[in-house]
Structure 1
Amino acid sequence: MPLPSSIKDKNPADSSTSAAVLVFDQVKKTFTADKTTITALDGISCAIQPQRVTGLIGPDGAGKTTFMRLSTGLLQPDHGTLQALGIDVIRDPLEVQAQIGYMPQRFGLYEDLSVQENLDLYANLQGVPQQTRNERYARLLAMAGLEDFRHRLAGRLSGGMKQKLGLVCTLVRPPRLLLLDEPTVGVDPISRRELWEIVYQLVETEGMSVLLSTAYLDEAERCTEVVLIHQGQILGHDRPEVFSRRVTGRIWSIRAPHVAKRSLQLRLSNDPAVLDALILGKSIRVVSHTPETLHLADPPPEPYSIEPAEPRFEDYFVATLKKNHRPADSPARITLGQNNHRIVDEDVIVADNLVRRFGSFYAVDRVSFSVRRGEIFGLLGANGAGKTTTFRMLCGLLPISSGSCSVAGMNLRTAASAARSRIGYMAQKFSLYGNLTVLQNLGFFASAYGLRGQERLDRINWALDTFALTPYSGSEGQSLPLGFKQRLALAVALMHEPEVLFLDEPTSGVDPLARREFWAQINSLADQGVTVLVTTHFMEEAEYCDRLVIMAEGRVLAEGSPESLKEQFDEQDGQETTMEDVFIGLLQTHHHG
């Protein structure tokens, strides 16, 4: 979605602090965990300019949330000064909190209250005069598309609608400065676009200043300017296109029609001339080490093509961080035993007219598909489409109302517990015990899967080594950066070497480097015969799937490979159709049909 010109044409980032809405000057913040001092922000200085959208971009553990919480006065720095709207945040945190709006990652909606009751509660808390409320509510609900849901319980809203309601509650008293900490994590592409439309409207019509953190780097390009933060230090502060230009001449699109995309990506990733390789449409998008003609040490078989491509912000981000990334910090290639090397063409997951009712409501309505061994199969849909309910039935976690499904040759209606012993499950919020250490989590789940004695010890050591978790073995699960929580959750799901792996939005909120590492491992598992079923809201990840279904209102709208689905839609302005275009196009056709 392009940036509105009235926002885009703001003056570029500068060092002026006179009109800045937020000023950090040599701010340092440390925390102590497991008797270790962690520097979250290391003497940073920056000035956020008014009436624009500024993106706070960085990998997991970069210091983004600490930056946000310091800005609101919820944390105090160890050193330095900061001002918000001209107010000394350290001296007058309550005054700052009365002037700004802050929506944290886990915004506190009251799920047993209606939309209207949540609005009233937050208006009371923020001292909004009674006579101004109705007009403000009407404007905000219209902006968020929630006018028809005033009386619905917040707990019965979809994930995207909850995010929009959280934003509306933050705005019942109009703030001059709005801080949004990863507001689009876990919401579908349509809801993401709607949230951005709201943000743009706030800047254009209310003159609001917005600071927004995100792990989705395509969203960086929707910002007027970007603060790039890594390991508690600011790497740069400028327009996103300025960052992109720094990798001009290093971006390539490579096609080899006779080589499978996953195989081509792996081949290119291992080439010494290549810093990064990513599946994107029919091509592999490559970042080279130098801005010279790309010469591959191990080119794919003919015919293949190498074409220069336009750089984007994510290319700069990945190139900068990968350059300083130590291989020892990365997980190793997963190697499983022999139990998955079986007939490739057999169907391992079969759903046949699957139905799940909640009273008279059909969450899943006659859904059918099958997944072959060693296939990566995607289950996509808007928030509330029924994909998570389908997913939970296939895992044996939710009873089936009617229809049938089998996993690894076992009928889930009659042998759910036996089927679960062949399944690895990685939940959306990572089913880990936060107050247990990494080692204790691994030990607990190894025992839960029936591993005993030397086999149990061997698998724990395998997990620590393979996922580079040894340095964190004594750390509590809740203290881990999100990317390491993801590693631990995958390790736990693979302790018993399952035939089938279920991944429920496994990369929600993690940064691109962690996402790349994760998918390299999943591709390796599929190559070894593990069948993978994944739900995701990140549309570029749909490109990694061999086949997928897109759901809406409990039914399957479309099924096929990413390429076959994209062929149904025309190119936009000469640009290759993306999976996001397909997703939004299908849902819009469905709603208008």
Structure 2
Amino acid sequence: MSADVQAVPVSAQNLHKSFKRGTGEIVKALDDVSFAAKAGTLTALVGPDGAGKTTLLRLIAGLMVPDQGELEVVGVKVASDPQAVQDRIGYMPQKFGLYEDLSVQENLDLYADLHGVTSEQRQEVYPRLFEMTQLGRFRERLAGKLSGGMKQKLGLACTLVRAPELLLLDEPTVGVDPLSRRELWEIVLKLVREDGLTVVVSTSYLDEAELCDHAVVMHAGKVLSQGTPDEITAEARDRVFIVATPDGMPARSLQARLFQQKGVIDAVPEAGQVRVVLEAPDGTEALAIDGHETAPRPAKPRFEDGFMVLFATVAERAERSGMELDRPVSGNSADVVVEVDDLVRSFGDFTAVDHISFKVRRGEIYGLLGPNGAGKSTTFRMLCGLLPASHGRLQVAGADLRTSRAEARQKLGYVAQKFSLYGQLSVDENLDFFASAYGLRGRRKAERIAWAKRQFELDQFASLPSIQLPGGFKQRLAMGAALLHEPDILFLDEATSGADPMARREFWGRITALSEQGVTVIVTTHFMEEAEYCDRIIILDAGQNLAEGTPAEIRAHARPEGGEEATMEDAFIAIVEQARSARAQPKAAA
């Protein structure tokens, strides 16, 4: 292998790739894309849904051929010999092909067999993979019984079983909790920094891009910018401010208002205040809200701020208006609309939810947080009347779920963690079906469907089978369907997973508007910054309540290093690790 090949394992020049949608429309997935990944470095591909990140990774992996352009991977022209490339790289797609009925060990053995890894090589590589992923004590566990984070670690181990020269990771941490996400990144960084492996990763977590050596910012198949994380961050120099919230105004309400202001590129709640990125350094007049003095103060920019500045130069500014309900939810904000008392759910000898209790008041946004497998989705399903409780009391929207599940469901909207609509039906057909299921008819039905398509930018995909939608748009469709009947209580189970930052901001602006009109929202999320939108939060692990309180009360659990301000992610990790350590002590003593 030549020195040049070793120096640049990936060299892409002027790549083009187009696809034809089911509607016959030609879509440019990649439009004149060029970049290089140097040996022993970590390169991040970042961008919104439809940016072309997955297509680019598939081209590099030799799974597709570009329409135009030159692509060399590990010194091989991919178009002429894709198999030679595939024999020398590792590729972990978004949905890695684990065999859930096989054990951890059996999955590893299967991938080793497929790649011709000898028994001698296995004896050398297996111990290191088990140590690195901490899966050694789970060798005999079925893959289907692993948590989301452990499945991703097993997928990574299977990808690494033959010691590839180049590793491609497509959104490896989507749907993974913060603790597992941190552990996964520790593995990746070790592979790059200590073993000299070259890694190219696509991610929707912009804080992950800060860990990389090189970042490629993409939008609509084009490269907007590329460089070191510091160079991307510098795009936001002198444009970032922290804005204090006026007395009595929640940070999310100020965020929603600021996000609608001309001259504001980005606004997001942060530690009870709002972090704002402006179009121009001298544009602070945009931060005046209803005559309130918001006292903006300059803040140090970060990668996400620079990304949002770049994105704003090409993305058409969406209409950022909040949702207006035809009938705001009646009642008092002090009314308890969800009451959970001593709730238990068991599956055989496994207890998924272990004696938890909490209350949610009308118009509140209440966050259920926890690692993968903590019991959040099981709790959600019980609250929605989709799963009976083994023990305890559940009162939702005035109905006892032991006796009146159907009555309660009429007042609920639910967006599942995984896309759960009808993949073969078009966007229009899905919305029509769910509108009818919710009892909407005639003109009202047409109005609500039009509203959903407008709010979630689905018009362009109206006749497309929903299975063909980009990932983020699938969730938008599910959200639109859940809101057609204007429910009193909305359940969102990781509804923003895989969505780009701008879409998440607009999503939360709509949720804020709903809560201000009396809609109660219960949400799970793995984006810890989204917990700042909540009025109160409960953190679960192993089905148990570890902590409950306002975002400020939860942040007080954090142990930040170096005098930095505590974040919600710091607090989450500290709470979970402390609880796990306490549970492990009696076992260690025994």
Structure 2 length-normalised TM: 0.95
Pick the aligned partner of 1:141 from 107, 123, 130.
130
Show the counterpart of 2:298.
Answer: 308
User: Cα–Cα, structure 1 residues 383 and 536, in superposed 2: closer, same or farther, change >3 Å?
Assistant: same
Aligned 1:312-351 pairs, distance under 5 A? 312-327=302-317, 329-330=318-319, 332-338=321-327, 340-351=329-340
Query: C-alpha displacement at 1:330, in angstroms?
Result: 5.0
Residues 444, 571 of structure 1: CA spacing in aligned structure 2 closer, same or farther, 3 A cutoff? Answer: same
Q: Deviations over 1:377-400 (max 9, x none)?
A: 000001111111111111111111
Q: Distance in 2 between matches of 1:539 and 1:74?
A: 34
Matches of 1:191 and 1:151, distance apart in 2: 20
Contact 1:256 1:300 survives alignment (8 Å): no
State how far apart, in whole Å, the 2-side matches of 1:573 and 1:206 are. 28
Within 1, Cα distance between the matches of 2:194 and 2:560? 33
Cα distance in 1 for partners of 2:569, 2:557 equals: 13
Corresponding residue of 2:487:
498
1:563, 1:400 → 2: CA distance?
31
Indicate how the Cα distance of structure 1 residues 288 and 303 shifts in structure 2: closer, same or farther if over 3 A, else same.
closer
Once the two structures are overlaid, the 10-residue window that deviates more, 252-261 or 170-179, is 252-261
CA deviation after TM superposition for structure 1 residue 555, in Å: 0.5
1:194 aligns with 2:187: no
Q: What CA deviation, in whole Å up to 9, does each residue of 1:86-120 have, x standing for no partner?
A: 01100100110000000000001000100000011
C-alpha spacing 1:384/1:303, structure 2 compared with 1 (3 Å): same
Counterpart among 121, 124, 132 of residue 113 in structure 2: 124
2:9 corresponds to 1:24: no
Paired amino acid for 1:346 = D
The percent of aligned pairs where both chains have the same amino acid is 52
Q: CA deviation at 1:361?
A: 1.3
Residue identity opposite 1:75 in structure 2: M
Rounded Cα–Cα distance in structure 2 between residues aligned with 1:323 and 1:333: 23
Q: Distance in 1 between matches of 2:559 and 2:196?
A: 37
**Residue pairs, 1:27-38, within 5 angstroms:** 27-33=15-21, 34-38=23-27
Is 1:251–1:310's contact at 8 Å kept on the other side of the alignment?
yes
Give the superposition deviation at 1:297.
6.2
In the aligned structure 2, how far is the partner of 1:434 from the partner of 1:569?
42
Contact 2:263/2:283 (<8 A) preserved: no
* 1:223-260 Cα shifts (integer Å, max 9, x gaps): 11111111111122211011111211000011135132
Query: 383-392 or 337-346: which moved more?
Result: 337-346
What stretches of structure 2 of length at least 5 have no aligned partner? 583-590
Aligned to 2:277: 287
Q: Distance in 2 between matches of 1:256 and 1:467?
A: 28
Shift of residue 271, structure 1, vs aligned partner:
3.2
* Counterpart position of 1:479: 468
Q: Is the 8 A contact 1:330 1:468 kept in 2?
A: no
Q: Distance in 2 between matches of 1:90 and 1:579?
A: 46
Distance 1:120 1:297, change over 3 A: closer
Aligned with 2:8: secondary structure? Answer: coil
8 A Cα contact 1:27 1:78, kept in partner: yes
TM-score calculated relative to the size of structure 1: 0.94
Mapped contact 1:333–1:466 kept (Cα < 8 A): no
Q: Which amino acid aligns with 2:259?
A: S
In structure 2, give the amino acid aligned to 1:520.
G
Query: Is the CA contact (8 Å cut-off) linking 1:331 and 1:466 kept in structure 2?
Result: no
Asked whether the 8 Å contact 2:556–2:571 carries over to 1, the reply is: no
Matched, 1:175 2:184: no
1:108 aligns with 2:97: yes
Following the alignment from structure 1 to structure 2, what is the Cα–Cα distance between the partners of residues 246 and 568? 33
Q: 2: CA distance between counterparts of 1:230 and 1:326?
A: 12
Show the 5 A alignment for 1:424-443: 424-443=413-432
Q: Is the Cα–Cα contact under 8 Å of residues 256 and 512 in structure 2 kept in the other structure?
A: no
Q: Count residues with an aligned counterpart.
A: 577
Contact 2:45 2:217 in 1 (8 A): yes
Distance (Å, rounded) in 2 between the aligned partners of 1:568 and 1:124: 47
Q: Name the stretch that deviates more: 494-503 or 448-457.
A: 448-457
Provide the alpha-carbon RMSD of the alignment: 1.6
What secondary structure sits across from 2:91 in the alignment? strand
Q: Which residue does 1:536 correspond to in 2?
A: 525
On the 8 A contact 2:53/2:202 being kept in 1, the answer is yes
The offset of 1:452, in angstroms, is 2.6
CA displacement 1:496-548 (0-9 Å, x = unmatched): 11110000001111110111111111111111111000001110001110101
For 1:255-306, what per-residue CA distance to the aligned partner results, in whole angstroms no more than 9, with x for missing partners? 1351321222233223334222111112210111112372346346666432
Shift of 1:205: 3.2
Aligned mates of 2:385, 2:144 — CA distance in 1: 24
